Amino acid sequence: MKKNPYIEDVIKKCDVCRQGVNVDQYGNGECHHCGWKQDKDVFDFPDRVMYPNLVSFNKAKSLFRQGKKFIPSFEDFVGGLFYYSEMQFDYKSKRFGVVLRKGYSIEFFEFDKEEGYQVYKTKDEFMTNAHIDDMLLRDIWDAVENANYMICE
């Protein structure tokens, strides 16, 4: 019987907190001590937000040393968008999505709502002007919940 390569049966030290973490043969696994999702590519780009994590490797190490959770800032969220192309978050019990399209237009919308759809030509335009109910997204970011890569439900 062939072994499943995704079974997490190898123990290594977490890249962030240095505690033991189970990983699969590819080095992937989530640390149950700090929450960091192991990914060997972070060593090549330690300041870039890359899936599956929502903050950069260097920021995660800094947050861990400060005893803080790996919660993405607005800038981290946008970094994830430019890595993954689709992001989502909740605000006041409503789900919002952001999609990076070919040609790099950015579409911002509330799920299950046709009006209020916003399109931005550049990253800076999105970061400066994206809004919900006349409030800039960057100004209300601390009230956003469940920021993450977009998932299909």
- Chain segment 111-147, per-residue pLDDT in tens: 999 888 999 999 999 999 999 999 999 999 999 999 9
How much of the chain exceeds pLDDT 70, in percent?
93
- Chain segment 60-95, per-residue pLDDT in tens: 999 999 999 999 999 999 999 999 999 999 999 999
Instruction: Tell whether the torsion through CA atoms of 96, 101, 107 and 110 is positive or negative.
Output: negative
Instruction: State the Cα angle at 103 between 44 and 79, rounded to 5°.
Output: 35
What is the per-residue pLDDT for 25?
85
- Tokens 């209300």 belong to residue: 140
Give the residue, 96 or 27, on which the prediction is more confident. Answer: 96
- Tokens 């005893």 belong to residue: 67
Tokens coding 30: 């989530």
CA 113/CA 27 separation, integer angstroms: 40
What is the per-residue pLDDT for 27?
87
Burial of 78 (0-12, 13-18, 19+ CB in 10 A): buried
| Mean of per-residue pLDDT scores for the chain | 93
* 42: phi then psi, degrees, rounded to nearest 5: -65, -25
Burial of 64 (0-12, 13-18, 19+ CB in 10 A): buried
What is the per-residue pLDDT for 153?
61
Mean pLDDT of 7-25: 88
What is the per-residue pLDDT for 152?
67
| Contact (Cβ atoms closer than 8 angstroms) between residue 34 and residue 19 | yes
pLDDT of residue 102 exceeding 90: no
What is the per-residue pLDDT for 14?
97
- Chain segment 33-61, per-residue pLDDT in tens: 999 999 989 999 999 999 999 999 999 99
Single-letter code of the amino acid located at 4: N
| Contact (Cβ atoms closer than 8 angstroms) between residue 55 and residue 39 | no
